Each structure stands twice: as C-alpha cells, then as structure tokens.
Amino acid sequence: MAEAELTYGSYLRLDDLLSCQSPRTGEHDELLFVVIHQVYELWFKQILHETALLQSRLEAGNGAGALATAQRVAKILKTVVGQLDILETMTPQQFAAFRPDLGGSSGFQSYQFRYIEAVLGRRGFPRTVMEPELETIVSRRPVFGSLLSFLRASGFDVPPDVLERDPRLPWEGDDRVQSVLVDVYAGSSTPEEVCEALIDIDEGIQEWRYRHVKMVERVIGAKTGTGGSTGADYLRSTLFRPFFPDLWAIRSRLLSPCPVLSLDLDRAFASATAGSGCRRRGCSATSGAVRTPLWVLCVGSRVPTAPYVNRIDEARGRIRWRGTLAPLYRPNVPRR
C-alpha cells in the first residue's frame, strides 16, 4: 500500500494535538487555562532538548555552538514569561468558576520543569518527587559543570577537584572558580560570551518565577494552591535562588574603574588625563587617544582603543563592549 502524502496536518499530527484539550467544565475561560499550560509543557520539552545539546557542545569544546544554543534557550524563556501576559487577562472570578473542578492537579506536579531545574543544577529534591528519570539527571554533571569543563579545555585553570566532584551534591559556589571566571571576563572572547548567555538563562528562570508569583497573587491571592501547596508563599520562597551563583558573585569584581579614567557616576562621564596610560596588565587604554569626556567602564582589565570607540560611535552612538553598554558623551576621538 502506498504511503499517504505528507501534509501540514499529518506532519504536525494536528488531529491528535487539537484533541488533547479536554476542559472539565463549560466555562469559557477554562480552555485558555488548558492551552497555556499545554504550551508551557511543549516549551519545557524544547528547553530540555536544547540544554542537552548545550551540554554536549560545551563538553566537546564547541564554544560558538554552545553560545548559539544558550541564546536560543534564553529566547524561549522570554517567550514562556510573555505567555503569562495572556493568562493574566483572566480575572479571579473567571478562574474561580472552574477552579474547584481542577481537583488536586497543580503546576507543582510538572515533572518536566523539575528536569529543567535538575539540568541547570538544582539538587536536594524532596523524596516524594524522586523517580528514575530525575535520579538519572541529578547523577549527571549539570550545565555549570559542563561550562567549567569547557573553560578547562579552553586553557583556563579550573581546579581538577571541582571537575571531578560528585554531581549529586548541591553547588554553593567556590572562590577558586570565581577567580577563574574573573580571568575569563578579562578578555573579550567566546568563553566570556557563553558565560553571559548562561546569565541570561538564569535570569530568565528567575523572571519566570517572579512573574509566576505575581500571577498567582493576582488570581488567587493568599489562598492555598490547588495541589495543597501554600500557593504564592511557596513560589515566593523560590525567588532569588540562582543556578549559577559564581557567575553572579563576580559581577562587582568586574566593574573596577580603569586607572586612566576617573569614573564619576554623579555626572555620568569620565575624563581622560592627558599624557598617561593604563598600567594594568593587558589594558589598551591610552589617555592620549581619548581627549573628550566620555562614560566608559574598564571591565576587568581593558577599555576600547580610540579607533574602536570612534567606529562604534559613528555607527550607533553607543559602545557595546564585553557585555556592558556605556553611552558616549559627545566623543570627538581623532581618526587614525
């Protein structure tokens, strides 16, 4: 028998997909509630698919590929957060009309989101939620461990005992690792961009948690969650728990002013001192090349050279350098 011609509907299995929504009441808004949560689960599936590739690329030393994948995950998280805007169009009264029929079902039961948390580094799950797949994930190296493996292969002095640690143990941060990360940020390179992309992912998860809290507060207030949880109180307890604490801990160490430029945040610009140069190792700043006040940060060890500043300013009027945006203050950098 000849195989049926592939169509849009058959390829996407639309008949199966569109038959998966089974509201339990006749309330108009329940379908929206079902669709939103099903779409969440589809995005969670994609995030798990992408993070598996991300780790594979990091472990293989493929920095450019890892960067592209991490950026995709961050974009997906932006979309996931944005969907809460749609859910928040539902009023408390509209949700209350079908809430009793949800029984004990709850978003806390999403095993895919637990998998995402485990892949990103969460450990110490309650025994009640542990099952074979989750056990397998927590026994593997998390994303941050794969990052450290990538940095080691890129020539950075990551301590061997950190790479060989038991992945089932929670990670609280390490001063030695933070020193390595400062070195990573001392040079504009792919490893630094990968670190920044992971910060975007971590921030995306935290943004999702915060918006989830506010949505729950908006719809059910202080009531107990449908699954018997404490609702907004529990969600609030999950805020501000980063998966990559070392990447956050080093931020203040990256914003040291360049010796050539005296940073004046009150006036939002720094003036170059004629005839002197930065003595910090690796710093390319020379005050002779910059004679007009501007606001620029020496992130780690270096600032852009005059031709670089001039070229970027002509194109956009702003510097984007090593993850830091600094507005120029009417620069008049000499051409070379």
pTM for this entry: 0.74
Q: Give the domain CATH number at 151.
A: 1.20.58.480
One domain for residues 139 and 239: yes
Name 326's bridge partners.
319
One domain for residues 236 and 288: no
72 residue type, one letter: R
Residue 223: per-residue pLDDT: 61
Domain boundary among 209, 230, 253: 253
| Sequential DSSP letters for 41-90 | HHHHHHHHHHHHHHHHHHHTT-HHHHHHHHHHHHHHHHHHHHHHHHHTTS
Q: 299 and 254 in contact (C-beta within 8 Å)?
A: yes
One domain for residues 166 and 244: yes
One domain for residues 241 and 279: no
Q: 104 and 35 in contact (C-beta within 8 Å)?
A: no
One domain for residues 267 and 135: no
d(CA 70, CA 147): 11
Residue 240: per-residue pLDDT: 76
Domain boundary among 253, 282, 298: 253
22 assigned to some structural domain: no
Q: 149 and 163 in contact (C-beta within 8 Å)?
A: yes
212 assigned to some structural domain: yes
One domain for residues 249 and 308: no
| Domain count across the chain | 2
- Helix H segments across 99-189? 111-120, 132-138, 143-153, 160-163, 175-185
Range of the domain at 306: 255-327
Nearest C-alpha neighbor of 81 from the set 270, 262, 214 = 214
Please work out, in degrees rounded to the nearest 5, the angle formed at the alpha carbon of residue 75 by the alpha carbons of 300 and 120: 70
3-state secondary structure of 277: strand
In order along its 336 residues, the chain shows pLDDT tens digits of 668 899 999 999 999 999 999 999 999 999 999 999 999 999 999 999 999 999 999 999 999 999 999 999 999 999 999 999 999 999 999 999 999 999 988 887 999 999 999 999 999 999 999 999 999 999 999 999 999 999 999 999 999 999 999 999 999 899 999 999 999 998 878 999 999 999 999 999 999 989 888 888 888 776 665 555 555 666 677 777 899 999 999 998 886 544 433 333 333 333 333 334 444 444 444 433 333 333 333 333 333 333 333 333 333 333 333 333 333 333 333 333
One domain for residues 57 and 190: yes
Domain boundary among 253, 283, 318: 253
Residue 232: per-residue pLDDT: 63
Residue 225: per-residue pLDDT: 53
One domain for residues 76 and 214: yes
8 assigned to some structural domain: no
Residue 234: per-residue pLDDT: 63
6 assigned to some structural domain: no
One domain for residues 192 and 278: no
Those residues whose C-beta lies under 8 Å from the C-beta of residue 112, and which sit 6 or more positions away, are 41, 44, 45, 48
Those residues whose C-beta lies under 8 Å from the C-beta of residue 56, and which sit 6 or more positions away, are none
